[in-house]
Amino acid sequence: SESIAGVDQVVVARLLERERARFLQAHPSCVAEARRSAAHWLNGVPMHWMTDWSLPVPVVVQSAQGAVLQDIDQHSYADFCLGDTGAMFGHSPPAVADVVREQAAHGFTCMLPSHATARAGELLAARFGLPFWQMTQTATDANRAVVRWARALTDRNKILVFDGCYHGTLEDTLVRLESGRVVTRPGQVGQVADFASHARVVEFNDIAALERELAHGDVACVLAEPVMTNAGMVLPTESFWSAARALCDRHGTLLAIDETHTLSSGPGGHARALGLRCDFFIAGKAIAGGVPCAVYGFTAELSDRMTTFLANKPSGHSGMGTTLAANALATSALTACLEKVMTPAAYEHMNTLSGRLTGGLRQLIAKHRLPWHVVNVGARSELCFSATPVRTARESLDANAPALERALHLFLLNRGVLITPFHNMMLISPATTAAQVDALLSGIESFLSELLP
Ligand code: PMP
């Protein structure tokens, strides 16, 4: 029968079927809750993408602490998904939980700065090297504000993103390159505006295309992750970012770096470790230890221009910001996370265990002569079902093997290990232990021994 990524598809299908039955049998309470929820939540879930885990019914969480998640059927999991990065620093990091408890008695949201606001600004500036900041509730909304500011300040209407990017549900970025043409990303619900006509899209790592598109002189900003983490994991080539930075400067385009995921690379994010200078910096998800919060930073020069812009713009709503943005709870959590959780020691632990995981995965791949490879950046590893590293999102997506991926995820879940759905991302938190890494590796080893002749 057909083999995909070096694995027989009939064997994969049989294993998947068996694991689905095993899951259902082991999760009677989750099945009961799913039935209850089906009566009132769309597709049985409060957020429709929760069904994208491809489980027979969702795992219902009883509690999560550190890198351990517990479901209502009393199963305990080593969590390498970590809320797809929202809990990158562990679930309920004690220092964040403490200030949340403290702030809980003193008000959550007042539409005013809090006692922690000035301190949070100092911490952000010191850590990420940009002097001025704003807060939002989500990374999506931080990206939205950055794109709006970039257009306002440059008086240009286009943005440039890389094919296969994801920067949240910001419509402006939900575009793709299709046979050389920019098109709206398929699959969107009820989207009628034509964002493709306000975007330029090139393949990641394609400097010649970037140069050609920026030369039109109409691109307000390039919005990019320093490493593409939303189409497998695509690394920049050695000279990519220095060349891209120079092109932005030459063509008057601002560079906005979205570190929402790549905060996993080091205490100052990935770009800072590379020595890449950015005009805007965006981070969300884990930046306040899992409490909803996002930030964007910018240079002093941009801050001056923004101040002037606000002073001179016609009165009326800016079209940016939401009511709960920069609320007191998020600000306290942000301060605690920056000060006490995202420490050099925490990152050292994350990197060390990530190295252990990557090394173990590479040994397994070699031992079984699989046409797979592992990409590792800081605390983040991705198992890819292609023999060689990819240079673009398209190459990465072409290497997808959905059935194999689902089988692997469910097999691991049935053995107490959670990895990120939609791809094979494994994230290490400061609370992750070597024993958990070894459990993940031995889970994959058993999976392979069942799968391969
Ligand atoms: N930026 C990047 C790089 C992301 O991966 C995501 C979400 N996966 C976002 C922004 C948006 O984050 P949120 O959904 O929390 O708004």
Residue-wise pLDDT tens digits, 62-102: 999 999 999 999 999 999 999 999 999 999 999 999 999 99
What is the DSSP secondary structure assignment for residue 157, as one 8-state letter?
-
Q: pLDDT by residue (tens digit) across 11-53?
A: 999 999 999 999 999 999 999 999 999 999 999 999 999 998 8
- Angle, nearest 10°, between helix axes 139-154 and 300-312? 80
Ligand 1: list residues with CB < 6 Å. Answer: 138-140, 143, 166-168, 225, 230, 258, 260-261, 284-285
Question: Given this model, what pLDDT does residue 413 score?
Answer: 98
Reported CATH class of domain 94-341: alpha beta
Strand bridging mode 158-162 / 219-224? parallel
Domain with residues 3-79+344-451, CATH architecture = Alpha-Beta Complex (3.90)
Q: pLDDT by residue (tens digit) across 311-344?
A: 999 999 999 999 999 999 999 999 999 999 999 9
Mean pLDDT confidence for 427-442 = 98
Least Cα distance to 101 among 391, 362, 329 occurs for 329
Given a cut of 90, whether residue 307 has pLDDT beyond it is yes
Helix (H, G, I), strand (E, B) or coil at 290: coil
User: Looking at the chain, which residues constitute the CATH 3.40.640.10 domain(s)?
Assistant: 94-341
Rounded distance from Cα 278 to ligand 1 centre (Å): 18
> What are the counts of helices (DSSP H) followed by strands (DSSP E) for the chain?
14, 18
Given a cut of 90, whether residue 1 has pLDDT beyond it is no
User: Looking at the chain, which residues constitute the CATH 3.90.1150.10 domain(s)?
Assistant: 3-79+344-451
Rg (CA), the chain: 22
Contacts of 428 (CB under 8 A, 6+ apart): 80, 350, 353, 354, 357, 379, 380, 381, 437
Cα distances (angstroms) measured from residue 311 to each of 164, 314, 326: 37, 9, 22
Kindly report which listed range (1-10, 116-125, 217-226, 324-333) carries the lowest average pLDDT score: 1-10
Q: Which of 81, 166, 223 to mutate to test the pocket of ligand 1 (most atoms within 8 A of CB)?
A: 166
Cα distances (angstroms) measured from residue 100 to each of 78, 94, 108, 332, 438: 25, 10, 9, 7, 33
Question: Given this model, what pLDDT does residue 54 score?
Answer: 83
Amino acid at 191: Q
Mean pLDDT confidence for 271-275 = 96
Rounded distance from Cα 139 to ligand 1 centre (Å): 5
Q: Provide the Cα torsion 253, 254, 259, 265; round to 10°.
A: 80
Residue 393: pLDDT band with limits 50, 70, 90: very high
Rounded distance from Cα 285 to ligand 1 centre (Å): 7
**Could you tell me where the DSSP H helices lie in 41-116?**
94-104
Given a cut of 90, whether residue 422 has pLDDT beyond it is no
Question: Given this model, what pLDDT does residue 210 score?
Answer: 98
